[in-house]
Amino acid sequence: MEHKLTVEALKDGTVIDHIPAGQGRRIAKLLRLSESGQRVYMGFNLPSQRSGKKDLIKVENILLSAEDANQLALYAPDATVNVIENFEVVAKHKLGVPESIAGVLVCPNSNCISHVEPVTSHFSVRSRHGEIRLKCKYCEKAYAKEVFTGLS
Amino acid sequence: MANPLYQKHIISISDLSREELELVVHTAAELKRHPRNDLLKDRVVASCFFEASTRTRLSFETAVQRLGGSVIGFADAGNTSLAKKGETLADSVRIITSYVDAYVMRHPRDGAARLAAECSTKPVINAGDGANQHPTQTLLDLFTLHETQGRLDGLKVAFVGDLKYGRTVHSLVQALSLFGCRFYFIAPPALALPDYLYEELDERHIEYSDHEDIEEVVPELDILYMTRVQKERFEETEFHQVKSRFVLTADTLAHARPNLRVLHPLPRVDEIEIGVDQTPYAYYFQQAENGVYARQALLALVLNETL
d(C-alpha B98, C-alpha B122), whole Å? 8
Residue B62 identity: T
Distance CA B146, CA B125 (A): 22
Q: Angle at which helices B112-119 and B89-99 pack, to 10 degrees?
A: 50
Residue A150 has pLDDT above 70, yes or no: no
Of B180, B182, B178, B158, the C-alpha closest to B169 is: B158
- Set of chain A residues whose Cβ sits within 8 Å of the Cβ of B108: 111
Q: What is the pLDDT of residue A5?
A: 56
pLDDT at position A1 over 60: no
pLDDT in tens, A103-138: 878 999 999 999 999 999 999 998 777 788 899 999
Measured between alpha carbons, how far is A140 from B171 in angstroms, rounded to an integer? 12
pLDDT at A2: 54
Which of B12, B14, B89 is opposite residue A117, by nearest beta carbon?
B89
Catalytically annotated residues of B: 55-56, 85, 106, 134
Closest approach of A19 to chain B, Cα-based (Å): 32
Please, are residues B72 and B44 in contact by the beta-carbon 8 Å criterion? Answer: yes
Give per-residue pLDDT as tens, B1-43. 789 999 999 999 999 999 999 999 999 999 999 999 999 999 9
Query: Given this model, what pLDDT does residue A103 score?
Result: 81
What's the pLDDT at B152?
A: 98
Task: Indicate if the alpha-carbon torsion angle B237, B241, B246, B248 is positive or negative.
Answer: positive
pLDDT in tens, B271-299: 999 999 999 999 999 999 999 999 999 99
pLDDT greater at residue A105 or residue B143: B143
As for the ipTM of the complex, it is: 0.88
Nearest by CB to residue A138, choosing from B14, B111, B199, is B111
Chain-chain contact of B110 with A117 (C-beta, under 8 angstroms) = no
**CA dist., res. A55 & res. A83, Å (int):** 17
Quick one: A5 exposed, middle or buried, by C-beta within 10 A (0-12, 13-18, 19+)?
A: exposed
Question: What is the tens place of the pLDDT at every residue in A52-91?
Answer: 999 999 999 999 888 888 878 777 888 889 999 999 999 9
pLDDT-based confidence at residue B242 (cuts at 50, 70, 90)? confident
Q: What is the mean pLDDT of residues B208-226?
A: 96
| Chain B positions in Cβ-Cβ contact with residue A138 (cut-off 8 Å) | 110-112, 114-115
Radius of gyration of chain B (CA): 20
B110–A141 C-beta distance less than 8 A = yes
Cα of A142 to nearest chain B Cα, Å: 9
Determine the residue among A123, A140, A143, A147 to mutate to test chain B binding: the one whose Cβ has the most chain B Cβ atoms within 10 Å.
A140
Q: What is the pLDDT of residues B155-165, one digit of tens each?
A: 999 999 999 98
* pLDDT of the residue at A95: 81
Asked if B131 has any chain A CB less than 8 Å from its own CB, the reply is yes
pLDDT at A38 over 80: yes
Q: Which of B214, B210, B282 is nearest to B245 (CA)?
A: B214
Instruction: Evaluate whether B259 touches B223 at the Cβ level (below 8 Å).
Output: no
Give chain A positions within 8 Å (CB) of B131: 111
| Termini Cα distance of chain A | 44
d(CA B268, CA B72): 30
Model confidence band, residue B237 (pLDDT cutoffs 50, 70, 90): confident
Say how many CB pairs under 8 Å bridge A and B. Answer: 55
Q: CB A140 to CB B132 under 8 A? A: yes
Residue B168 pLDDT grade (very low, low, confident, very high; cuts 50, 70, 90): very high
The pLDDT of residue B209 is 98
- Is B110 in contact with A118 (Cβ distance < 8 A)? no
What is the per-residue DSSP string for B34-77? S--SSTTTT-EEEEEESS--HHHHHHHHHHHHHTT-EEEEES-G
- Residue B140 makes CB contacts below 8 A (sequence gap 6+) with B28, B287, B290, B291, B293, B294, B295
Instruction: Show the domains of chain A with their CATH numbers.
Output: 13-93 (3.30.70.140), 100-147 (2.30.30.20)
The residues, ordered by sequence, that sit 6+ positions from B157 with a Cβ below 8 Å of its Cβ are B145, B176, B181, B182, B183, B184, B221, B222, B223, B225
Q: Do A142 and B196 touch (CB under 8 A)?
A: yes
Tens of pLDDT, residue by residue over B39-91, are 999 999 999 999 989 899 999 999 999 999 999 999 988 777 776 778 899 99
Q: How far is A117 from chain B (nearest CA, A)?
A: 6
Query: Does B89 contact A at CB distance below 8 Å?
Result: yes
pLDDT at B198 over 90: yes
**What tens digit of pLDDT does each residue of A43-56 get?**
999 998 888 999 99
| Region B206-215 average pLDDT | 95
Best probe of the A interface among B109, B174, B199, by most A CBs < 10 A, is B109
Q: Which residues pair with B226 in a beta bridge?
A: B160
- pLDDT for B214 equals 94
Q: Does B94 have pLDDT greater than 60? A: yes
What length does chain A have? 152
Number of alpha helices (DSSP H) and beta strands (DSSP E) in chain A: 2, 9
Interface of B with A in 57-76 (CB under 8 A): none
Q: What's the pLDDT score for residue A151?
A: 58
| CA–CA gap between residue A45 and residue A54 (Å, rounded) | 5
Of A34-38, B98-102, B251-255, the one with minimum mean pLDDT is A34-38
Strand pairing of A142-144 and B261-263? unpaired
Counted residue by residue, chain B has a size of 307
End-to-end CA distance of chain B: 11
- Kind plus residue range of the DSSP H or E element containing B198: helix B195-203
What pLDDT does A9 receive?
Answer: 82
Do B271 and B7 contact (CB within 8 A), yes or no? no
